[in-house]
Amino acid sequence: MDMTTYTDEVLAAKASRIRLLLTDCDGVLTDAGVYYSAEGEALKRFSIRDGMGVERLRQLCGVDVGIMTGENSAIVARRAEKLQMTHLYLGVKNKAARVREILQTHNLQADEVAFIGDDMNDLEVLQFVGLSACPADALPPVKAVVHYVCAQPGGHGAFREFAEWMIGLRTKVS
């Protein structure tokens, strides 16, 4: 996808259609690091500012937000619960197939979904949805296909930045 063809007006129109924003977890909501103890996964670091981005999207735009990750993590489930997310998809190995299921289940079109991801397993979804983004430290092939590359790295406000960008775009068409 050639990002040079999208004007602010086109991006604003795309943003205005979004009803659900899905985010990868590791590398977007976290810095892609994880702390392990003898018992397994022990800690992940999340940005409180990203959490405010979830709340602002919900309150200002009526956009639902969910997490989709390849990991089965009680920590991620707890974070989703804390943020009152109704969409949580853990252990997803084929994200594109799962997004297609979500579209059917929730009566959504692909252009009504946004996605922010950082790695190769996110590529197909990023190219399929209506609006896409990645953190500043995403892999180069991911950066090449998204509508928006955040200035912030994963786990340090990238999600919030994308949320605020979407909110700003939506105010241009309202």
The full set of domains in the chain, from first to last, is: 3-173 (3.40.50.1000)
What's the rounded Cα separation, in Å, for the pair 148 and 116?
A: 9
Model pLDDT, residue 3: 53
Model pLDDT, residue 14: 96
Give the mean pLDDT per block of 10 residues along the chain (174 residues).
71 97 97 85 91 97 97 95 96 98 98 98 97 98 97 98 97 70
Phi (first) and psi of residue 41, to 5 degrees:
-55, 125
Model pLDDT, residue 173: 65
Decide if 41 contacts 72 (C-beta within 8 A): no
Model pLDDT, residue 80: 98
